[in-house]
């Protein structure tokens, strides 16, 4: 991922956008259709979002597709969602690859069927050299799970005698979190009207700008996304410093 795209600075385009795609079920219920119809419409909105990011030069997009808690939904909805994921993986990866999208998955992969895990691994393999857009799909993901797995990986090294407890700091823990290779999200969008983080990227969203909309995910279009980007561009990000300090030196996370 290039450290500073030519079009990022003047227009203040977020380098990394994180999205909770909420409202599929209500979109379908309002049409008196089964919830899975809403998820199918949601899958189309995913393409709208990807197209927009590529067109506007957003370099990384992280989508919350399925939370750790979503396993508790009715069995038929979970089954239908799994089928939808599998179909999307089979159908979309060629085109994503052709467009230069690198696809990765974050979350507790072990909970998915072997078939889905194989597809995930194949999609990651096929697209690993792409750099136009870094697409991360959070699936069976929870922010608390992420922090726990990062802590566990450090604890294992301490137990093995290869890491001193004193060496553990925020930086080291951050290096074990999902998405460690990307800049933290600059902008978070949640559709569907709720103003919560819902156990998404708890660690990574510490200084992310939050944007909420009543629009349901299947209603997403480029105009709505542009409204969010315009709002983002108007905000002063201080990262805990003063406005005067920020005017002197823009904090600038870079990535490879």
Is 107 a binding residue for ligand FPP by CB under 6 A? The answer is no
Q: Which of 1, 46, 61, 177 binds ligand FPP (CB under 6 A)?
A: 46
Residue 39 annotated as part of some ligand binding site: yes
Q: Which of 23, 107, 183, 185 binds ligand FPP (CB under 6 A)?
A: 23
Nearer to ligand FPP, 150 or 192 (CB): 192
Q: Which of 1, 58, 88, 93 binds ligand FPP (CB under 6 A)?
A: 88
Whether 146 is catalytic? no
Nearer to ligand FPP, 48 or 168 (CB): 48
| Cα distances (Å, whole numbers) of residue 172 to 142, 150, 153 | 20, 9, 11
- Binding segment for ligand FPP (CB under 6 A), chosen from 4-12, 18-26, 182-190, 195-203, is 18-26
Q: Which of 15, 16, 19, 25 binds ligand FPP (CB under 6 A)?
A: 25
Is 138 a binding residue for ligand FPP by CB under 6 A? The answer is no
Is 42 a binding residue for ligand FPP by CB under 6 A? The answer is yes
Whether 70 is catalytic? yes
Annotated binding site: 22-27, 35, 39, 67-69, 71, 73, 190, 196-198, 209
User: Binding residues for ligand FPP, per CB under 6 A?
Assistant: 21-26, 39, 42-43, 46, 63, 65, 70, 84-85, 88, 137, 192, 217
């Amino acid at each position: 991922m290039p450290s500073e795209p030519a079009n990022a600075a003047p227009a203040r385009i977020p380098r990394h956008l994180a999205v909770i795609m909420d409202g599929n079920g209500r979109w379908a219920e309002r049409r008196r259709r089964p919830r899975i119809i809403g998820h199918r419409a949601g899958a189309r909105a995913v393409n709208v979002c990807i197209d927009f990011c590529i067109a506007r030069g957003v370099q990384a997009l992280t989508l919350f597709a399925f939370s750790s808690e979503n396993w508790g939904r009715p069995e038929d909805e979970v089954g239908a969602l799994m089928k939808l994921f599998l179909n999307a993986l089979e159908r979309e990866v060629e085109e994503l690859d052709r467009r230069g999208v690198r696809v990765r998955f974050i979350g507790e992969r072990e909970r998915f069927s072997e078939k889905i895990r194989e597809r995930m691994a194949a999609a990651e393999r096929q697209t690993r050299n792409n750099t136009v857009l870094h697409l991360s799909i959070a699936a069976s993901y929870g922010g608390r799970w992420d922090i726990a797995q990062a802590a566990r990986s450090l604890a294992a090294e301490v137990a093995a005698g290869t890491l001193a407890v004193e060496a553990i700091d925020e930086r080291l823990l951050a290096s074990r979190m999902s998405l460690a290779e990307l800049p933290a999200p600059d902008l978070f969008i949640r559709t569907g009207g709720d103003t919560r983080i819902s156990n998404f990227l708890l660690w990574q969203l510490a200084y992310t700008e939050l944007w909420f909309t009543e629009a349901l995910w299947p209603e997403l279009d480029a105009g709505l996304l542009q409204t969010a980007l315009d709002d983002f561009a108007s905000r002063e990000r201080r990262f805990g410093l003063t406005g005067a300090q920020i005017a002197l030196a823009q904090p600038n996370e870079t990535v490879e």
